Amino acid sequence: MDGPTIERVIEEADRRAERLIGWMRISVALALGVVFAAFVVGASPPDDPIILAQLMLARLTLVTCLVIGVAALVVSTKRLYRPLYAYVFVAADVGFVLMSLSIALGNTNTAPAFAPLLPSMWLVPLILALNALRYRAGVQAFGGALLVVGLVTLGFLEPPPAAFPTTNLMQTPPNVMRLAMITAASAVLFLAVRRARGTLARAVAEERGRREIGRYLPPQVASLIAGGDEAITGGRRQEVVVLFVDIRAFTARSEAAAPEAVSAFLATYRTLIVEAANACGAIVDKFVGDGALLVFGIPEPREDDRAKALLCASTILGAVEAWSARRVAAGEDGVAIGIGVHAGEAFVGALESAGRLEFTVLGDAVNVAARLEEATKKFQASALASAAVVAGVDAKALGVALENVGPVMLRGRSERVAAFAIAPPREL
């Protein structure tokens, strides 16, 4: 497909997440540094060796957090970033927290069972939260597992020695509950991240599907298929109004003009058709050379489809007549078209052929519309609509002028079709 793949979009989201986490590390380190300087350093006894060691550890912790954040910003550039870096930074975060805990326990001569009392311990929820920003379930599980294994290795679950003053809150059972809560928090964040990442992947896949479908189908039909409209994807018989447009003497015009001029001519012509179709609620089924097939009644037939088709035919006639006048004024050839409009039952659907979807409208209604367009030459009319279209429509209220030309014999048909000529609008 044109544009980014799902993998590239997600990798770009990962890179941006890593960069955001880097900035958050730096912000947290600076914020905690301000709090540390304002409320801890000045209030600490200046001659207590244990306190001094803890203050030094705190400074080291903040500086390390800052350094890891800066490193994340450096490698999260498009040129340097690799998805593996997420695991490296998670391991660095966890290792940094566990080392900080280990040093703090040694400085204070504290048993590991009292680790929850140390400030370093409460960096654990921050690490889990930062991991969640990556929207990578594997990284979240990896970080949670490292934390749990590291805390167990530190002796977090070992009971304190008898010489240590203990309370019920620092016994093994409460610490088991704390460890269980850390594990549960990691599991919940894992599920949240996996769900969010799945949602992102589905959203990108749906957008890619819409783009891919839109390359071959009318935008309105592509939207219906992307939305799961089974009536369109499977096909069905239904009432439609078909409008067929063709340029007069296009073959002779093409032979006498340069290819670039023909291309520009068709581009302008098709723009006029699409604008009229959009204004009147039609779907442009397809362009084939200088021919265009418009359909009214997709996805569901409406009572005003016939009126819209007549108005669309009149609008196209007016637009082409004005375009032709501009061309003549510029010294170029004028433009004449023929339009046929008919209402009836047809098969409508998006069918797969040779690995690609194609929107199809098949049936007698299409054939009659094309034959009516041919018959406009015989009757020297710009547009003909069948009685099946005109019946029940208040043409005067629409501002559409109709003239009954009587029963028309169409090529390839045994019965005549009652037809009406459509005039372009009076004011161009």
DSSP string, 121-165: GGGHHHHHHHHHTT--HHHHHHHHHHHHHHHHHTTTTSPPPTTS-
Q: What is the pLDDT at residue 378?
A: 87
Angle between helices 137-153 and 172-214 (to 10 degrees): 170
Alpha helices in 242-363 (DSSP H): 250-256, 259-280, 305-329
Q: How confident is the model at residue 230 (pLDDT cuts 50, 70, 90)?
A: low
Residue 427 pLDDT class (50, 70, 90 cuts): low
Q: Convert 69-108 to b/e letters by CB count within 10 Å (16 or more is b).
A: bebbbebbeeeebebebbeebbeebbebbbbbbbbbbebb
* Predicted local confidence at residue 360, as pLDDT: 78
Sign of CA dihedral 177, 179, 182, 188: negative
Which band of pLDDT confidence, cut at 50, 70 and 90, is reported for residue 166? low
- Poorest-pLDDT segment among 50-54, 105-109, 395-399: 50-54
Q: How far apart are the C-alpha atoms of 387 and 392, rounded to whole Å?
A: 9
pLDDT at residue 233 greater than cutoff 70: no
Distance in angstroms (rounded) separating the CA atoms of residues 64 and 61: 5
Instruction: Look at 360 and 154; give whichever has higher pLDDT.
Output: 154
Buried b (16+ CB within 10 A) or exposed e, 402-414: beebeebebeeee
- Choice among 18-22, 41-45, 90-94, 406-410 with the minimum mean pLDDT: 41-45
**171 pLDDT above the threshold of 70:** no
- Structure pTM? 0.53
Cβ atoms of 256 and 267 within 8 Å: the answer is no
For residue 294, the model assigns a pLDDT of 93
**281 in helix, strand or coil?**
coil
State the pLDDT at residue 284. 86
Q: What is the DSSP letter of 235?
A: -
Indicate if the pLDDT at residue 197 is higher than 60: yes
pLDDT of residue 428: 42
Q: How high is the pLDDT of residue 272?
A: 93
**Whole-number Cα distances in Å, 180 to 151, 183, 203:** 12, 5, 34
